[in-house]
Amino acid sequence: MHVQEWLETVPPLAIYLLVGLVIGLESLGIPLPGEIILVSSALLASQHGDIDPVVLGACATAGAIIGDSIGYAIGRRGGRPLLAWLGGKFPRHFSEAHIATAERSFQKWGMWAVFFGRFVALLRIFAGPLAGVLRMPYWKFLTANVLGGILWAGGTTAVIYYVGVVAESWLKRFSWLGLVVAVLIGLTSFLVLKRKAKQAQSRAAEAEPVPAGQ
């Protein structure tokens, strides 16, 4: 069953709790589709008056901030052995290459990596635990965590909700033609972002120093 179709069968209170829980678990380092759940719930809120977008955004924000904070505490206590353990449990997400990429981002950008990492799927999972492992000062982490959580969770909810409201009205006017255009725009945006991400990853790989003897 599609995520949004399934959410339509869930009571509003359960949706608020589910969004906060999934985003919180993702933020503390467990690979879960937090963004998909949030976007689907915000779209559902734009179509059904039973779901309050303000409450939804608040739950998403709380989950993001609390989850990242727990991840930070776990990372600070567990250290690098924790990353090795996560690599064994979730090799697709916590591979050595992914950890190295995230660590370079933290070393280069510091607390900004926590803030902007909220908007990048890979760094969103890493941000809390890795900040703890690298022993980033907590006040820096908390500042970036709170600001990033509010902007990402609250902003995503607001944008998707209002776009959904406008899109629903617009699609009713233009029927299937509007749907085709919307899908094409979304697909083009996805491909452009995917291409830019690959280019950034290639540049990072090329910038890596080659170990002596190789």
| Mean pLDDT for the stretch of residues 66-79 | 86
What is the pLDDT, as a whole number, of residue 175? 46
Residue 169: pLDDT over 70? no
Q: List, in sequence order, the alpha helices (H) in 90-137.
A: 96-109, 111-117, 121-133
Measured distance CA(14)–CA(56) in Å, rounded: 11
For helices 155-207 and 53-89, give the axis angle rounded to 10 degrees. Answer: 30
Q: Within 13 Å of residue 116, how many CA atoms lie on the same side as its CB?
A: 9
Measured distance CA(68)–CA(128) in Å, rounded: 5
Instruction: Give how far Cα 9 sits from Cα of 2, 117, 133, Å.
Output: 11, 32, 40
What is the pLDDT, as a whole number, of residue 63? 94
| Mean pLDDT for the stretch of residues 20-48 | 86
- Report the predicted TM-score, pTM, of the whole model to 2 decimal places: 0.68
What is the pLDDT, as a whole number, of residue 95? 65
Contact 171, 164 (CB under 8 A): no
135: left (phi over 0), alpha (psi -120 to 50) or beta: left
Query: What mean pLDDT is reported for the chain?
Result: 76
- Residues 46/51/62/1 CA torsion (nearest 10 deg): -80
Lowest mean per-residue pLDDT among 35-44, 81-90, 205-214: 205-214
